[in-house]
Structure 1
Amino acid sequence: MSQILKEKLMDQDIYSVSIVGMGKNTGKTVTLNYLISLLDPLTLGVTSIGIDGEKIDNLTFTPKPSISLKKGTVVATGEKTLKEFTSSYEILEGTGIFNPLGEIVMVRLQEDGEVLLGGPERTTDLKKIISTFKKYGCGKVLVDGAIDRRAAASPYVTDGMVFVTGAAFSRDFTRLVGETVHRLNMLTLPQTSISLEREDKIQLISGEEINFLPIKSALLADQLIGYFKGDRENLLYIPGALTDSFLQKIVPWIKKGYKIGIIVKDGTKVFLSPKAYGQFTDSGGKIEVLKSCKPLALGVNPLSEEGYGFDSTALVNSLQQLVPIPVFDPLK
């Protein structure tokens, strides 16, 4: 499995990889460390979206695994985190990008050590930093998604992602497997054949017509109903988040015979429960994306810090039967 995963990571079309977790304590840091070891001796760039790598969990007050990096790794992090580094480092440059931990600086480790990551909070800034890694000879960039910050997995930001799930998400084995598969399905929704000139406005596509709607937010779903046409397919593009409450207002119109589909920018904008998604698609609705995320693998952590857990082999095998990407336990 390690060789298969390494081959996926070394794909020439994959420069930046995000590591995104289902939630707190699902094993994201352990997975990040595993990927770092797999890519050795390649020079890596490492950053995060938000802060991660703290020694004590802020919610459970239990010890957390440290992020361990190799000598020569280039790190982009808020300058106040540098005091937590256990290794010496060389400051390469300031980026002019700031977060609550100060200016994000590019540093190169001069020896192996543990770090605290405090990367950019905005995806636009993250894209700039990923590009900056190239001039320092980084062969790959790993982005720690930090506390369910799925925005890092956007195909507009990183080239691929490793998704991580774990027992901490649920004590119920069946629910854990089902929710994990659902989250992956939402991140990998099919890509539409429609191209849009603008991606920042709510639009209704009916046949050859593309109309910008005078509605600022999908939260105002009730105002959309009057624009749907009953004699043709209605494709609604939403630039923001797609939620259960929005779909629940659309489903009754589909049941009346309206053909309604929804397009979102990418799967990181989709926040749907399995129930809401099922009701919408079972009624005849469809959801597509402008650009699909690219999952490379699924990491699992069968143990919870609360003391319960599942059999690793059973969890890996159950998920592997349901997803088309490699499933692995980084500690096996």
Structure 2
Amino acid sequence: MDKLIPIGADKIFALVGISKNSGKTSVLNAILQAFPQYRWAVLSTGIDGEELDALFQTPKPQVALAKGSLFVCDEESLKGGGSGIRLLQRFEDVGRILYIARAERDIKVRITGPASVSSQRNIIRILQKEGADKVLVDGALDRKSIALDEGIDALILCIGASFGNIESIKEEIRRLIIMRDIPLFEGSCYLKRRFAASNELLRQLSGRWFKSGIKSILGDGDALQELFAEELESLYLPTALTDAVFENHQTQLRHLKSLVIRHPQNLQLSLTNLNKLMRITHVQSLIPFKIKAFAINSTAIGAAQPAADEYRREIRDSFPELRFIDIMEV
């Protein structure tokens, strides 16, 4: 973190986890405490900092903000805040009333944020206009979260023991590292803009890109077969590629010059199938997977509790090239 956070060009950070209860709020609090020289703004793509886990009713850390910090909250978050919270703006989001607020003293709060990526982008711009030096987003690895938006400068990946056994966790880390390292699309600025605006598959024939009329390859095997019958050179995929689709069409994918995806998270593939895909065609991504730091949490909620020292040692020994932040040590 000491090398990541102070980088001047990096203003917007997103915390994401591979499972629920991965320790994101603990990492968020550690960052806020370690870098008090910045005026921070925080928001969530869900609700974070609640006192109890909604499912398991186990205690959870609240978000600890220093005086002057900015945050997004709802009516429930304001209870008990009193004079410690100053409301700056009020807005409605999908039937909810949300607020942009400032901490008038050191406080512990619950944070939230708007539901859509476009609204999350807008809120970040407002927070920056209100004076935030840097923004922390408690996000998620899904398409409805700004965590995967190209406007995010850095992702901090939290790896919790709640995900599963140690072998499944190591497999997931390997999968995410492969996706992180997928090269960016090398096309022109015009093509990048065209791809970003497209919600349907685009196909390349004789060096030119054309619309396909297909918006999803899930459950539409006939349309995909017709598409591959055209002897494609390359394909742009703005939607998910699942194991089932890959296994049905890997022969055709093998003949592509390149497969361009919107974001590496479009590849909803097992580690085995992801490795196969990377071997049989040249994969490029329109948006980079900006994982720049890793944090591990040995506490498992709702799953078998591993031995903390063994869990940390096993992960660190398996990935000696990576530096893992230990949530228990922050």
- Normalised by the length of structure 2, the TM-score is 0.87
Question: Distance in 2 between the 1:249 and 1:222 partners?
Answer: 11
CA 1:110–1:63 in 2, change beyond 3 Å: closer, same or farther?
same
Contact 1:187 1:266 survives alignment (8 Å): no
Q: 1:137 aligns with which of 131, 134, 138?
A: 131
Residue 77 of structure 1 corresponds to 73
Residue 185 of structure 1 corresponds to 178
Aligned-residue offset at 1:133: 1.2
CA 1:269–1:84 in 2, change beyond 3 Å: closer, same or farther?
farther
Question: Distance in 2 between the 1:154 and 1:87 partners?
Answer: 36
Q: 1:176 aligns with which of 162, 165, 169?
A: 169
Q: Identity across aligned pairs (percent)?
A: 24
Amino acid aligned to 1:35: I
Question: Distance in 2 between the 1:226 and 1:269 partners?
Answer: 22
Aligned pairs for 1:216-255 (under 5 A) are 216-219=215-218, 220-228=220-228, 234-254=233-253
Residue 272 of structure 2 corresponds to 275
Question: Distance in 2 between the 1:84 and 1:296 partners?
Answer: 36
Question: Distance in 2 between the 1:70 and 1:260 partners?
Answer: 52
Contact 1:27 1:166 survives alignment (8 Å): yes
Aligned-residue offset at 1:24: 0.9
Which runs of 5 or more residues in structure 2 are unaligned? Answer: none
Amino acid aligned to 1:132: I
Question: Distance in 2 between the 1:260 and 1:87 partners?
Answer: 61
Q: Deviations over 1:85-121 (max 9, x none)?
A: 5872100112x34145x22211000111111112111
CA 1:53–1:222 in 2, change beyond 3 Å: closer, same or farther?
farther
Q: 2:119 aligns with which of 125, 128, 142?
A: 125
Amino acid aligned to 1:261: S
Question: Distance in 1 between the 2:117 and 2:157 partners?
Answer: 18
Question: Distance in 1 between the 2:266 and 2:81 partners?
Answer: 34
Q: Deviations over 1:176-233 (max 9, x none)?
A: 12212212432442211123324323101235210100223222243122233686x6
Say yes or no: does 1:261 pair with 2:254.
Answer: no
Which runs of 5 or more residues in structure 1 are unaligned? Answer: none
Question: Distance in 2 between the 1:87 and 1:242 partners?
Answer: 50
- Normalised by the length of structure 1, the TM-score is 0.86
Q: Deviations over 1:62-104 (max 9, x none)?
A: 111222111111002234432265872100112x34145x222
Aligned-residue offset at 1:277: 1.4
Question: Distance in 1 between the 2:83 and 2:259 partners?
Answer: 49
Aligned-residue offset at 1:322: 4.9
Aligned-residue offset at 1:124: 0.8
Which stretch of structure 1 is more off in the superposition, 195-204 or 32-41? Answer: 195-204
Contact 2:16 2:138 survives alignment (8 Å): yes
Residue 299 of structure 2 corresponds to 303
Say yes or no: does 1:39 pair with 2:47.
Answer: no
Runs of 4+ in 1 over 6 A off after TM superposition: none
Q: CA RMSD in A?
A: 2.4
Say yes or no: does 1:204 pair with 2:203.
Answer: yes
Say yes or no: does 1:50 pair with 2:50.
Answer: no
Contact 1:69 1:114 survives alignment (8 Å): yes
Q: 1:6 is paired with a residue of what secondary structure? A: coil
Question: Distance in 2 between the 1:270 and 1:84 partners?
Answer: 44
